[in-house]
Structure 1
Amino acid sequence: MSRRVLCLRHGQTLWNVERRFQGHTDIPLDETGMAQAARAASMLTTLRPELIVSSNLQRAAATAQALAQLTGLDVAVDEDLRERGGGEWEGLTREEIAAGWPREFAAWEAPGGEDVGDVAKRVSAAVRRWAEQISPDGLLVVVSHGAAIRLGIAMLMGLPQQHWPALGSLGNCSWSVLEEGRKGWRLLEHNAGTLPEPVQSDDDPDATPA
């Protein structure tokens, strides 16, 4: 038996479409985002999550609520799961950022924004806290944001910071699945949009037996 954590990115917003840096700005889901949240909820409810926890930003909370309505679970809210703060870049398009801050754009370090290491620490700590509240074979659904999820996963897996970019971004209402193994957390699915399937393999003693 092992705990699993499913990290679900929120649905689409208008600022996603316009390629604006959202950060801590509290942008709602657009019509497409609401439909994406409903679709994801219809699939994920079959996994019978024990607990749902969401970022305090409304785009994540609304995505979580779609799943809560089908599962009958309440949604816990944790501010530590919110997106990376974008400082002076929030509300700006990538083109505007590149033009105004070429050096910072190349490093993707927003003036006045959050350091990636700080984001990774707060998100991974939050996931660990909530994972402790589920049963040994339970499923926790964490509804958060693209950068927050990616950075939190990287730290949970113990990846050196120079290797964090090796994890790709998540699409709207896509998810990643972590499992707690004997040697820590490992990534089972990343940027998925279909239900995870059991892995049958001779590769590792923690893999699902044939």
Structure 2
Amino acid sequence: MARVLRIEADGGSRGNPGPAGFGAVVKDATSGEVLAEVAESIGRATNNVAEYRGLVAGLRAAHAIDPDARIEVRMDSKLVVEQMSGRWQIKHADMRTLAQEARALVRPGLVDFGWIPRAQNSHADRLANEAMDAAAAGRQWQRATVAPAAASGGSAAAADPDAPPTVLVLVRHGSTLLTEQRRVSGRYGEDPELSESGLAEVRSAAACRDVAGADVVVSSTMRRSQQTARAIADALGVDVVTDPQWDETDFGEWDGLTAGEVVKRWPREFAAWNDSPDAAPPGGESLLTVERRVLAARDALLRRWAGKRVVLVSHGDPLRVLLRSVLGVDGRMQRRIHVDPGSRTLLRYRADGTSEVLAVNRV
């Protein structure tokens, strides 16, 4: 009976087109053992081209392991899955070339293409982001000696079953005047400070039992998060670690406006943004882009503070991405999750790669 290998592949572009990279992991489909990881920065390209490059790299790695194996390809790119399955046409010349290269690497009838939610493709996504980060730092990506099981979904057999779980206490920053006016407040906007109501919310969060015993407080760079994080850290007597990956979405030209004002000026763009994680505000970030940086930051956090209790102070979109990733739901559910200012959501990550929601939106 032929061996079955599972390929999970992804690619991304910071700008679409922009600096791009891909990642792919090959696993034994029966045991889940990680057999190979590949990742590479590919210069300037689109998301779709990067995703195809990830597919080709994964197929090459699988072929090197066992050229006669049956292959299960799993990607969160519906476009690549549908095109490679022959149900959608391939119009882009670069993707036609890459699709032909991919087809040349598999024997007819021995490959199955399937779509998975982004939350289930976090291992490949992490590799792609590592490659892009390495290129931005002027170096080449190198595989870690041991893949972090809790972050990547690696083999549970390699994890210590007695290792303590990591608990993330997600705290949304307190209210600002823009929050109270229900105005968009993004990554490169006004960056307001906390209002009087926000300061009261932060005092309540700092005194609550959810944050008690935390080992560290991690925060975005934005003023409202920094104020919230420092109040909690001072109450606990711990440090604040700042990471720009946890900043709010860049809402581009919508920053400072109400939803009604946005709908009036950009009705089609707003409808597309509400419906699709690939759509971005004019001059801003798509949810897909935000999700990629957030999940990469999550993986780094879980590696650095494995087994600890971590308070993470961030914003609506990044926190909803984390909650969705544990629940296993895609970006279309993002706008259905409400996160109050100053609220706490608790997530637990075990060393075997499993995770669970302990509480949502406590105030």
Mapped contact 2:166–2:306 kept (Cα < 8 A): yes
- 2:186 maps to 1:20: no
- How many correspondences in the alignment? 191
Q: 1:89 aligns with which of 243, 254, 266?
A: 254
Q: Could you list the runs of 5+ residues in structure 2 that have no partner in the other structure? A: 1-163, 274-279
Distance 2:200 2:182 in 1: 20
Distance 1:72 1:45 in 2: 15
**Matched residue of 2:321: which SS?**
helix
Q: How does 1:88-167 map to 2 (within 5 A)?
A: 88-108=253-273, 109-136=280-307, 138-155=308-325, 157-165=327-335
- Note if contact 1:8-1:176 (Cα within 8 Å) is conserved in structure 2: yes
Partner of 2:117: none
Aligned twin of 1:43? 208
Instruction: Give me the whole-angstrom Cα distance separating, in 2, the residues matched to 1:128 and 1:51.
Output: 16
Unmatched tracts of structure 1, length 5 or more: 194-210
Rg comparison, structure with higher value: 2
Q: Distance in 2 between matches of 1:30 and 1:89?
A: 22
Question: Given the alignment of the two structures, is residue 9 of structure 1 paired with residue 156 of structure 2, yes or no?
Answer: no
SS at match of 1:16: helix
Letter in 2 for 1:7: L
- Return closer, same or farther for 1:54/1:133 CA change in 2, 3 Å cut-off: same
Corresponding residue for residue 170 of structure 1:
339
> Residue deviations 1:40-72, cap 9 Å, x none?
101147621011110000000100011111111
Deviation at 1:156, TM superposition (A): 5.1
Greater displacement, 151-160 / 76-85: 151-160
Q: 1:61 corresponds to which letter in structure 2?
A: Q
Contact 2:205 2:211 (C-alpha < 8 Å) held by counterparts: no
AA aligned to 1:186 is E
Cα distance, 1:78 vs. partner?
A: 0.3
Higher relative contact order (CA 8 A, sep 6+): 1
What does residue 71 of structure 1 align with? 236
Partner of 1:207: none
TM-aligned CA distance change 1:130 to 1:183, over 3 Å: closer
What TM-score comes out, normalization by structure 1 length?
A: 0.84
Question: Aligned partners of 2:210, 2:181: CA distance in 1, in Å?
Answer: 31
| 1:128 shift after superposition | 2.3
The two structures have a TM-score, normalised by structure 2, of: 0.50
Cα distance in 2 for residues equivalent to 1:16 and 1:110 = 19
The answer to whether the aligner puts 1:180 opposite 2:363 as a matched pair is no
AA matched with 1:110? P
Letter of the 2:235 partner, please give it: L
Write 1 or 2 for the structure with the bigger share of strand: 2
Larger deviation, residues 152-161 vs 118-127 = 152-161
Q: What CA deviation, in whole Å up to 9, does each residue of 1:119-165 have, x standing for no partner? A: 112112212212322252x2111000011210233235543334445
The verdict on how the C-alpha distance between 1:45 and 1:190 changes in structure 2, with shifts beyond 3 A counting, is: closer
Q: Residue 44 of structure 1 contacts residue 67 of structure 1 at CA under 8 Å; is this kept in 2?
A: no
Cα pair 2:211 2:311 within 8 Å, conserved: no
CA contact (8 A) 1:124 1:156 kept: no
- Per the alignment, in what secondary structure is the counterpart of residue 21 of structure 1? coil
Q: Which amino acid aligns with 1:55?
A: S
